[in-house]
Amino acid sequence: MGNEGTRTWIADLGNGRYRNPILYTDYSDPDVIRVGEDYYMVASSFCNAPSVPLLHSKDLVNWKVINYCVDQVPGDRYRTPQHGCGAWAPAIRFHEGVYYVFIPMPDEGIFEVHTTDPYGEWSAPHFLYEGKGWIDPCPFWDEDGKAYMVNAFAKSRIGFKSILQIVEMTPDCQSLIGEGKYVFDGNVNDQETIEGPKLYKRNGYYYIMAPAGGVKTGWQTVLRSKNIWGPYEAKNVLYQGDTPVNGPHQGGWIDTPYGEDWFIHFQDVYAAGRIIHLQPMRWVNDWPIIGEYVEGRDYGTPVLEYDKPKVSKEDRFYPIEAPDASDEFDGVTLGLQWQWNANDCKEWYTMDPEGSSVILHCVPAKPEESISDAPNLLLQKWVLPEFTAETKMTLDQLQPNDFVGMVSMGMTYGAVGVRKSAKGLELVKVLGSQHFSNEKSHPEDTDEVVATLPNLSEIYFRNTVKSLEPKEEFVPREEISFSVSTDGEHYTDLLSFESQAGRWVGVKNGVFAIHEQGDTQDPAGNTAVDYFRIF
């Protein structure tokens, strides 16, 4: 289980320098902390489960997923996919021996989880605030022992945006105290769509670091005040400039034990999602400048290559690591790269006791339902701008109306698979797209039988992502294609379409096993997935 023999994105250049992005993976809305010499990062996960990935690094460049903060997205409706809803931009902080993660759900409220061991079990989700529209929370403990939360607002849920609020809370993060106060209005300060605030204190100043101007076209803003309640003055400290790094959006400041300051943020690259960049940061007259520093200029621009953060007083070298991508399914659990399309059930899969596959049980679904709304799609994020994913699946345990195969899930989605029907084994392709109204996905797709297959016991699928020539500057395009093989050597192309990002999220790919159940309660079968390899 891991990256042995697989292609994946490596940002560490091996010579004491790194390239951006540090992760070519959709870890949307990142936040980061340092505890001693260890760095931890969390990211959004929306309706996917397990929820809120937790990554660890020793040098801010090489990262591994080590855990998830939440097993199940709170709420019964997340038993089915709620595309674009669920766990939005989280924040992570460490206070008096406890790790806290604040997670907003735009329709439900803000909940927190905590632990003393980030590798272990996290507390059950506790709602600190219940209600619509509060998003992007970040906790903060002041020197006098008082605790606060800063947050933004989602116009789609509450009717307004571009305003930042601070509210006092109990130091244990269990309840809010009194009413919140709006401390900054971006609508009247040339900071439209300011959001994603992170609250810090340095040299007697309170700082709120927050992106503004929009995900794909904005910049990084920093607010500063001697009083936590304001008034705050604003300065823009990171612009795209003439670089290809559009937006540079939401993230967090981190210092190192060796006197360096850094800023992690995301860049929206459309179908691949929100990939992660690392920028150097310096302080000038108690204002940060993020990115490339030019003498006399009070803002920075993104770096594409730079010296790595120090891991000792003199050394910038650390062993290269990357999040897992390929999976041989040879462990006792699924790899941490995997998430389900909705809250999962333990009955959906079994790890082969011989350690050679994962057995997906065909989960009942209505025949007329879109595959995009199947909760038991087993998915992972893209890890490269171009790649091929290959999988091998068994067919001999399928029952009538079982449908198993490979899927690519975005706003435009596709799948290829084998359905067992009265006619035998049918090779099927699916192509569809989602449109949204009232924050609800309405998918439309076509399901076409390509061929009738002989009595096979196994089949191979490939999903390839290939870059296309951009039509607009800085707007990547990709072709997504599927092919099939009966022997693992000779592949036949079945389906291709242009990529399109999902609702706030990048495209994910993976495998599925569903049972298209009608009025009868006929039994469902299963398929053994031998491997999922990226090359």
The pair of three-digit structure tokens given for residue 317, joined into one six-digit string: 């070298």
Report yes or no: 404 and 398 within 8 Å, Cβ to Cβ.
yes
**Torsion sign across C-alpha atoms 157, 159, 160, 166:** negative
Residue 142 half-sphere exposure toward CB, CA atoms < 13 A: 18
What SS3 class is residue 198? Answer: strand
Catalytic residue among 12, 59, 195, 344: 195
Distance of CA 533 to the CA centre of its chain: 20
Phi-psi region of 177 (alpha: psi -120 to 50; beta: other; left: phi over 0): beta
Residue 156's H or E segment, with its range, is: helix 155-158
* 59 counts as catalytic: no
Determine how many CB atoms are found less than 10 A away from the CB of residue 290: 29
Residues found in the chain: 535
Report yes or no: 238 and 221 within 8 Å, Cβ to Cβ.
no
- Kindly state the DSSP code that residue 503 receives in the 8-state scheme: S
Cis peptide before 171 (omega within 30 of 0): no
Catalytic residue among 12, 29, 136, 344: 29
End-to-end C-alpha distance for the chain, whole angstroms: 15
For the chain, how long is the longest CA-to-CA vector? 75
Distance (Å, whole) CA 201 – CA 244: 32
Name which of 6, 11, 3, 7 is nearest 303 in CA terms. Answer: 11
Give backbone dihedrals phi and psi of 353, rounded to 5 degrees, phi first: -60, -20
Report yes or no: 181 and 163 within 8 Å, Cβ to Cβ.
no
Distance (Å, whole) CA 218 – CA 302: 13
Residue 252's H or E segment, with its range, is: strand 251-255
* 493 counts as catalytic: no
Residues annotated as part of the active site: 29, 195
